[in-house]
Amino acid sequence: MKNWKRIGLKDFEFPNVLEYKKDYLQIPSTLPKDIRVFKTNSDTAVENKQYFSEESIFGVGTEFISLVNNNFNSGISIYIPKNIKVSEPVKVQYNMDKNNPTVIDKNYIVAETGSEITVIFDYSTDIDIKAFHNGILLVYARENSIVNIIKVQRMSDTSDNFDTNYAFVEGEGKVNWVSVELGSQMSGVNYTTYLNSESSQSDLSSIYLGDGIRKIDLSYTMVHRGPRSISNIETRGVLMDKAKKVFRGNLDFKRGARHSIGNEEEYVILLDPTVKSHSIPALLSEEDDVQGEHAASAGQINEDKLFYLMSRGLSERDAKKLIIEASFRPIIEKIDFSDLKNIIDREIERRLANA
């Protein structure tokens, strides 16, 4: 597990995989009947092999991928036919408790030409539970389709989270990722998007908050294969106490991806001198006529902003909270669902209570 050396994952033992017995799938009543939504089982996994070459999926590590493929206990499989657009989201909500402490989910989403869908994944736990999540999500977006994925991870401070996400996007299709990482003691997250055809596009917007002794490993990759493909990675983070974080952002322009554009940026606020933050942005290119930009910045809260807010009557603690929440706001506002935004806001406020 050499990819984990910076945050110290070694001698990791997988827990026993137990059955997840709670209902986790919420299908909107307005969902068109032509859309197929199933809980993943061995039959749906075999059916989806026609869309995905799963042998090339590495994600957070081959050991974790093998665990999902051989032992998944939950997950969804969604097929959206041609030209069907869904206005309400499909929701997948896991709440792990003492009787259901393990979620190993395998998920598939296939969007045919001209279709559109939003899927929300929410992973939470009872406060005093040591839970384990390890999952795979595979997305296939055909021409002119739009797939919006929102993932919120707010597990307990004693839990472990590992999550692999892959998307394959065809001409003028688009996959939008929003990732919110707020919990668990150890979190390894991978997002890899292949922009396979002309004018395919993907945006990845994420926030993370590391407190206590939390360890976070984020790996985001955009692979440009088609000409005029476009990618954007925007990440905002906060680290406090003795938290550790590694961010790897990769823009990879393959031969044939001429006139493509890729941008990535990460901004992290460091609240304590005891945190550790590693940012490793990379640009790879086999094509001459492309545009790639990356930026990473880390620093303490701007003293001028802090002084201004305190001069208006806020305490230092409240002023810091306001600045941090303002940093997260551009990402959170990309979520169009007020109930989910309220959940995220409350969790951020709870974790910043002692900042």
Provide the pLDDT for residue 226. Answer: 97
- Give the mean pLDDT of 162-179: 97
Answer whether residue 54 is part of any domain.
yes
Question: Per the domain annotation, does 171 fall within a domain?
Answer: yes
Q: Which of 14-18, 74-78, 282-286 has the lowest mean pLDDT?
A: 14-18
3-state secondary structure the chain: CHHHCCCCCCCCCCCCCCCCCCCCEECCCCCCCCCEEEECCHHHHHHHHHCCCHHHCCCCCHHHHHHHHHHCCECEEEEECCCCECCCCEEEEEEEECCECEEEEEEEEEECCCCEEEEEEEEEECCCCCCEEEEEEEEEECCCCEEEEEEEEECCCCCEEEEEEEEEECCCCEEEEEEEECCCCEEEEEEEEEECCCCCEEEEEEEEEECCCCEEEEEEEEEECCCCCEEEEEEEEEECCCCEEEEEEEEEECCCCCCCEEEEEEEEEECCCCCEEEEEEEEEECCCCCEEEEEEEEECCCHHHHHHHHHCCCCHHHHHHHHHHHHHHHHHCCCCCHHHHHHHHHHHHHHCCCC
* pLDDT above 90 for 105: yes
Confirm whether 28 is domain-assigned.
no
pLDDT top residue among 17 and 10: 17
Contact criterion met (CB below 8 Å) for 210 and 184:
no
Residue 6 has pLDDT above 90, yes or no: no
Choice between 161 and 3, residue whose per-residue pLDDT is larger: 161
Q: Is-contact 110 36, C-beta < 8 A?
A: no
- What's the confidence (pLDDT) of residue 248? 93
In a domain, 103, yes or no: yes
Rounded average pLDDT over 112-118: 98
Phi-psi region of 26 (alpha: psi -120 to 50; beta: other; left: phi over 0): beta
In a domain, 21, yes or no: no
Residue 295 resides in a domain: yes
Higher pLDDT, 331 or 53: 331
- Residue 11 pLDDT: 72
Residue 284, in any domain of the structure: yes
Query: pTM of this prediction?
Result: 0.94
155: domain range? 2-8+39-302
pLDDT recorded at residue 315: 83
Query: What is the pLDDT at residue 354?
Result: 67
pLDDT-derived band at 106 (thresholds 50, 70, 90) equals: very high
Asked whether the predicted pLDDT for residue 3 surpasses 70, the reply is no
Stretch 119-140: mean pLDDT, rounded?
Answer: 95
Range from 54-68, 95-109, 269-283, 329-343 carrying the lowest mean pLDDT:
54-68
Counted domains in the chain: 1
Average pLDDT score over the chain: 92
Buried b (16+ CB within 10 A) or exposed e, 240-261: beebbbbbbbbbbbbeebeebb
pLDDT greater than 70 at residue 290? yes
Statement: residue 50 has pLDDT above 90:
no
Asked, for residue 20, whether it belongs to a domain, the answer is: no
Q: pLDDT tens across 239-260, in order?
A: 999 999 999 999 999 999 999 9
- Per-residue model confidence (pLDDT) at position 355: 65
**Which residues are CB-neighbours of 148 under 8 A, at least 6 positions away?**
89, 116, 117, 118, 119, 175, 176, 178
Question: Are 153 and 191 within 8 A, CB to CB?
Answer: no
pLDDT of residue 117 exceeding 90: yes
Task: Give the mean pLDDT of 128-146.
Answer: 96
Residues 166-177, mean pLDDT to the nearest whole number: 97
Q: 178-233, pLDDT tens digit by residue?
A: 999 999 999 999 999 999 999 999 999 999 999 999 999 999 999 999 999 999 99
* pLDDT value of position 140: 97
- Is pLDDT of 5 > 80? no
| Strand 215-224, strand 244-253: pairing | parallel
Paired with 207 in beta bridges are: 180, 236
Quick check: 75 and 105 in contact, CB under 8 A?
A: yes
Q: Is 229 exposed, middle or buried (0-12, 13-18, 19+ CB in 10 A)?
A: buried
Q: Is the pLDDT of residue 4 over 80?
A: no
